[in-house]
Amino acid sequence: MGAQSMSRKPYVPKYKSGGAPRLAAGLILAAIIVASSASGQDASGVSAQIKKLGWGSGEDVDAIVRELAKTPERSAELLIKELHPVTDARVVPYTSRPATEHILDCIRALRFVTGGKDFCGKTNHHFGKSELEQNRKYWLFNKDKTCVPFFATWPSRGSDYVAPVDAQKEIIKQWKDWFAREGQTFVYKPFQNPTPDQWAW
């Protein structure tokens, strides 16, 4: 045989009609499925962390919010979905109010992952003359005389005073409206080493 007959042509795979486009489409679909699966797993992990808020110690809260800050947009979305009004007027140390503490810690986490974003709401609540109600009024209006935050803390006693329900509802709506409007375009700059008054109180 001559040298010409011994040479081999480069191997070129043979596809049936439309085979190459089908293969490319299949690879793209597989990539989308893998990405969606990873995203779902991430969301599941974030959700599991959020569910722990309010059910442990203060050290647990700090660790959890720092973990949530690694995925701030997803965390903010799920934290906002978690919010609902609570009926407790105050949460004090060494008492068990985990359902209320869970919501307060969700607000803390939102402040942390957004770098200090917060909302306040107006209230028509009439604060009574009891010591509890007077302290509640004082701390809730401590920073702003026209509206109240979701809660305010008396730092030296570790007592959290919770806003009246009408203000809570307004604040929750503000969080939901904000995320619907800006959640995906907001420049998230989670706190690194904040002081307690920046997010916890």
Structure confidence by residue, pLDDT tens digits, 144-177: 999 999 999 999 999 999 999 999 999 999 999 9
* Domains contained in the chain, number: 1
Q: Does any domain span residue 41? A: yes
Q: Does any domain span residue 55? A: yes
Q: Does any domain span residue 5? A: no
Percent over 90 (pLDDT), the chain = 72
Q: Does any domain span residue 12? A: no
According to DSSP, the β-strands at 90-91 and 151-154 are unpaired
- Rounded-to-integer distance, Cα 188 and Cα 115, Å: 7
Query: 58-68 and 98-113 helices cross at what angle (nearest 10)?
Result: 40
Domain that holds residue 71: 21-199
Q: Which pLDDT score, from 0 to 100, does residue 55 have?
A: 85
pTM of this structure? 0.78
Tokens read off for 159: 């007592």
